[in-house]
Every structure is written in structure tokens, then in C-alpha cells.
Structure 1
Amino acid sequence: MSSGTRNIILFGATGLIGEHITNAVLDNASDFGKIAVFTSSGTASSKSDEINALKTRGVEVIVGDLSLDQDVNAAFDAGFDTVVSCLGRPVIQAQLKLVELADKHTKVKRFVPSEYGTDIEYGPQSAQEIPHQQKLKVRAALKNVKDLEYTYVVTGPYGDADRGLFLSAAPVENEASGTFDVKRKRAVLLGDGERRISLTTMRDVGKLVVAALKHPEAAKNRALRVNSFTATPREIVAEFEKQTGGESWDVSYTSLEKLKEMERQAHKEGNPRAGPLTLRRIWTEGGTLYEHRDNGAIGMENSVDSLQSAVGRAIQVQTT
């Protein structure tokens, strides 16, 4: 069992990435003690099947209102030493209150914020990027607390085919922002297709978070830059071609300048696609490439998905 983590409470456990992180924690339940999820009454009702499945796996379900201090305090009073946040981008700011309250509970020692994705402090320009602002506030709050250790698990974009993710098939009308469409054997690559991008499958995100919890000293008060694999868009489409019969796909490109123009226009119009376009522009510029990855520091150098396995799963998702 990890010397740094015993009792874990997860927020956002049934969301897109939360489901994978929660499953990974439960797959390693023997390494921990008590495991709980904090969820709203609305989620407990609308996702009752998922909640009941968690209960059958031994999870304590705490129903409360994330915006009410008394509900969060009551959860923290139940004896958890580690908070794992999986909150989605629309409610990232709610973590500011979680950090403040967690720091006041002497038993809470570690906080893993919802960082999974692009490194928001990659370079000088990162502080100006619109999608990064709420996460930057959370990092600032964690750096100012007195008694909490923290770990930022930075994974790069998700290498999966769920709707809107990097290996997905975009709607035809939006394919200029990038697509790997298995049924049409059609790809639109961003930039010139030759700049490498670091990707992490959502399944691996969960495994990497658990590995960080099990290696508290290696993960203490830092950003862990981890991933599944790194490849160019051209290498990715070549793997799709190989696994779909060997025929060449119809491939076209959206230049970086065109992508920037699409991004500017979306922000100007208040289009909800503006944020995702900004992230795709950052990735295309090389904003997920680091001097090294930290998989080895947490014992995960050879325990993650490959390009081949990620593409195989993406094909399965798109065709079933």
C-alpha cells in the first residue's frame, strides 16, 4: 500500500475521464483503504446504474452539493487523506473551494487536481491561452496552501475515438478541425502532418493517476508529464490504413494558419467550438512535446498503450 495515500475521495467520478480514473483506482483497491465518490443528487439519480455498480465494488457514495461548504466539509470529515478531482472543464473553478476546504482538514494530505490534458504551463504563451485560465487559478491556489501536497498529472490530449477526441471521426461539417474517419477512410491532418504530438488514452490516464498515488515522493508538488505514445499525424493515419486493410485513405490537411483563423472566428462568434480549436492549435504547434516524459519516475515506462493498440481500439469504437 502506498505510504502517501490510503483513503481516497474522488470528485467527478462518473464523468468522461472520471470513469476511467475511478475504474483504475478500484482495480487497485487492495493498495488503498477506503474509496469514496462525492456526487450530486442529480447525478445519483440520472446515473443510478453507474452509481449502483460502484457501490457493488465497495465504493462509499457521498451525495452532496459541491457548492455548499457544509456538504464538502462533511465529506472531508469522513477521514480521507487524498482528494482526486476529475471535474470537467465547465466546473474546473469549483476546485478552488475544494482546495481551500481541503487545506483546513488536517487529515487531508494530498490533492490531485483535474489537470489531465494539455500542459498549461508549457511555455510563456501558455498563461495567455483562454482554455487554461481556470486551471492556472487552481495551480496558484495549490501553491499557496500550507498543508497540502499536490500532483499535476499532465497527459496531453486523449488518444481515443470517443466523440470529439483526437482519434475520433468528426462530423463532416467540422472535419477541417481534424478527423480520423474509419468508415469513410478519410483523414484531415492538422499542420503539415509531420509535427509529433504526445497522446494518452483515457484508460492510461487512470493507470497513470494511480501510479502517481503509489509513488508519492516522485510525484510530490510537481507536474508529471506522462503519456502513452508520441507520433506524427502522418504516422497515425498510416497505422489506421494498416489496420483497415492496407488501402490508402483520403487524406487532406488544415494548415496551421487556417486553424488559427478558424479559432479566431470561433472566439469572435462565441462559438462553443472555440476552446477545442484553441487546444488543437496548441497541439499542432508542438505544445505537448516535452524534453522527457515522467513515466519512469512512477514505474510506468513500459505499462501504457502503444500507437498500434490505441488505433485498434479507436477502430473498434468507430465501427461498433
Structure 2
Amino acid sequence: MSFQPKNVLFFGATGAIGSYILDAVLSARAEFDRLVIFTSQTTVQNKSTLLADLKEKYKVEVIVGDIQDEDAVKKAYEGIDTVVSAVGRGAIATQLPLIRLANASPSVKWFFPSEYGTDVAYSPASASEKPHQQKLKVRALLENKTEVPDLAYTYVVTGPFADYYVRFSGAREAGGWDVKNKKATLLSDRGESKISLTTMKDVGILTLAALRHPAAAFNKALRVNSFTTTPAEIQAEFERQTGGQPWSDVTYTSLETLRQSEAAAWESGSPAATVWTLRRIWTEGGTLYEQRDNALIGEPAMQTLTDVVSEAVRQAS
């Protein structure tokens, strides 16, 4: 395949995961002719220093507009060959018109939807998981070669972000580690269920690697990660890096308890329902593959469990 991306447009580039993707691409700035950010007026107001820095240091072009304004998006696509979307979970559906406009564009050839995270097509059961529905609609459109015949896609499927997995997010039973107070809740009966994790920094590195390997990435779900571990191994690493003694407050949440909490959260309309579902999926093994796809895109160097725990300890100090 002779195609190599040179002119890349980003949606969500200054967001939680988009900023890591942009940072990785900027580290290889010389490989690209144009890097363009499509962003909102609110971002311009709130992140003016960042945007000014991107323009001056990296010659990043900044287009200000409404993602739902078709004319603005069409204009932004002019001369662009690749689109990388990192919109948040609440904006996943906004990608549907972006994809149709990309297919209609004479220059856009490749689209990366906002897929970073849990695999929405891991198994037949994935089709009924509530948090997956919008991403599944995006996949259905991209894979419909009657409706979008001229657009290649790549899904960068990373599994859960290691940076978030090691933190408590809401109820303690949902799992996490509190370094200051040496408290932990491990998911599964004894914390022995394997899980594959990807750091947010590595999400960016893996996306850049995919951009560098279009022949391997075109029309493929790349199932990639930083490392595979268990909650028990994470706990052991936290103890090693915090003095070498066992933590006194370590609890466990069984898979059955996760399922019960998930059901109750959805029934009550709790905003935490998605968290419970995802953590149940991870604990069931929904991040594991016989072989990961890192090698297909050059086997870039990844961060380790030691790195993740070290950063969490540093932040707590």
C-alpha cells in the first residue's frame, strides 16, 4: 500500500485522551505536512495558552467551529487525508455525520473513530452491553461499504486505561487503590482475574504507530495494550513501592457482587451504571486475547505496571 497519511485532522484533540494522542503525533511532527485541530469556541476561551503554544511551536492549525455544522466540517476536511477522532463518550453519536462527510470528501481516505477503551465487539454478548451501543452504531456505519464505500477505518481498541483503573472511581466496591491511606479493593474473589490495561500515554503511542502502518491498520480493529496483569499483582507492586509491607485495608469485590451492583445502578438510573458494567466486563475477562496486535504496528515500546504504580505513588506524595 502506497498511502501514507500526511495531513491529519483531529476532533477532541485537547480532551482527556485526545491530548495524549496529539502529544504522540507531535513527537513525530516532521512526518506530517499538516496537523489540524477542529475545536469549539469554548475550548479557545478555556485553553487559549495551549492552542497558542501548539500554533507557535508545532505549526498546528486550529479551526474553530461547531462539530454539528456540516459546512464548517466540509471546509475543515479540505486537503485532509486522515481524521482522528477522540470525542468523549457523550459525543460518540456526533461522529456519524462526520463519517458521512469524510466519505464524501475528495481527499479524506482514513478515519479513526473514538474507540479507545473496552472492546465493543469482544464476543456475541457485546452487542447487548448498554455502554457499547453508540460505538456499535459508529462501527456499523464505517463497515457499511454501500453507504461509505470510499473510507478506510481503524479501531484502536486498548481496553481500560491503566491510569484510571488503579484509582477509586465512586463506590469503593468498584475497585481501586488509595495510596495515601493504603486502602485497596481488588476485583474478583482473590484478585486473580487477568486484565489487560493500556496507559493513556500509550494510547497516544499506539495511535501514532497505527498511523505509521496503514497497510496493517486499514479496515481493522487493532486490539492493543500496554501489559496484562491481575489485581493481586497490582497490589503487590503498590506494597513494594510503599515500603514493602502488606497494606492492612485490602478488600475484594466478587464478580457476583459486581453484577448485582450493576443491575441496581441501571435500575435506579444511576450515572455510575456504566462504570459498574465496564468493571464487570473487565473482571469477566473481556480484555484478554490469545495475541495482541502491537506487533502489527511495529511493537512500539510500552509503559509497564511499575511505571503506572510509580506515577500513582508520586501523585499521592
How high is the TM-score relative to the length of structure 1? 0.95
Preserved contact between residue 176 and residue 186 of structure 2 (Cα < 8 Å): yes
How far has the Cα of 1:306 moved from its partner?
Answer: 1.0
Q: Who is 1:95 aligned against?
A: 95
- Corresponding residue for 1:248? 246
Summarize the alignment of residues 166-245 of structure 1 with structure 2, pairs less than 5 Å apart: 166-170=165-169, 174-192=171-189, 193-245=191-243
Which whole-Å CA distance do the structure 2 matches of 1:131 and 1:33 have between them? 37
Contact 1:168 1:318 in 2 (8 A): no
Q: Structure 2: 5+ residue runs without aligned partners?
A: none
Q: Is the 8 A contact 1:170 1:180 kept in 2?
A: no
Instruction: Establish whether residue 137 from structure 1 lines up as the match of residue 140 from structure 2.
Output: no
1:150 aligned residue: 153
More off after superposition, 304-313 vs 281-290: 304-313
Inter-partner Cα distance in structure 2 for 1:196 and 1:246: 23
Correspondence for 1:30: 30
Q: Cα deviations across residues 204-259 of structure 1 (Å, max 9, x unaligned)?
A: 00000000000000111010010000000000110011011111112110111111
Q: CA RMSD in A?
A: 1.1
Cα distance in 1 for partners of 2:51, 2:90 equals 22
Secondary structure of the equivalent of 1:94? helix
State the Cα distance separating 1:179 from its structure 2 match. Answer: 1.3
Q: Residue type of the partner of 2:239?
A: E
Rounded to whole Å, the distance in 2 between the matches of 1:168 and 1:52 is 32
How many equivalent residue pairs?
Answer: 310
Q: Runs of at least 4 residues of structure 1 off by over 6 A?
A: none
What displacement does 1:170 show? 4.0
Question: What is the distance in 2 between the residues matched to 1:318 and 1:49?
Answer: 28
Partner amino acid, structure 2, of 1:17: I
Paired AA for residue 270 in structure 2: N
Aligned residue type for 2:208: V
Instruction: Report what 2:123 is aligned to.
Output: 123
CA distance in 2, matches of 1:38, 1:54: 13
- Are 2:34 and 1:41 equivalent residues in the alignment? no
Could you tell me how far 1:169 is from its partner in structure 2? Answer: 3.6
The separation in 2 between residues aligned to 1:198 and 1:191, in whole angstroms, is 15
Inter-partner Cα distance in structure 2 for 1:48 and 1:277: 36
Identify unmatched segments of 5+ residues in structure 1: none
CA-to-partner distance for each residue in 1:48-98, whole Å, 9 max, x for gaps?
222222222211000000011111111012x11000000000000001011
Output the CA distance in 1 between the equivalents of 2:69 and 2:169.
38
Q: Structure 1, residues 19-73: CA drift from partner, whole Å, max 9, x if none?
A: 1001111111111110010001111112222222222221100000001111111
1:265 maps to what in 2? 264
CA contact (8 A) 1:103 1:146 kept: yes
2:143 alignment partner, SS class: helix
Q: How many percent identity over aligned positions?
A: 55
Counterpart-to-counterpart distance in 2, 1:226 and 1:151: 12
Q: Is the CA contact (8 Å cut-off) linking 2:223 and 2:292 kept in structure 1?
A: yes
CA deviation map 1:152-173 (0-9, x unaligned): 000010011xxxx1011445xx
Aligned pairs for 1:63-78 (under 5 A) are: 63-77=64-78
Distance 1:131 1:170 in 2: 17
Instruction: Give the letter for the 1:237 counterpart.
Output: Q
- Give the corresponding residue for 2:7: 7
2:286 equivalent in structure 1: 287
Q: Distance in 2 between matches of 1:51 and 1:318?
A: 30
- Contact kept? 1:168, 1:179, Cα under 8 Å: yes
TM-score (norm 2): 0.96
Contact 1:110–1:150 under 8 Å retained in 2: yes
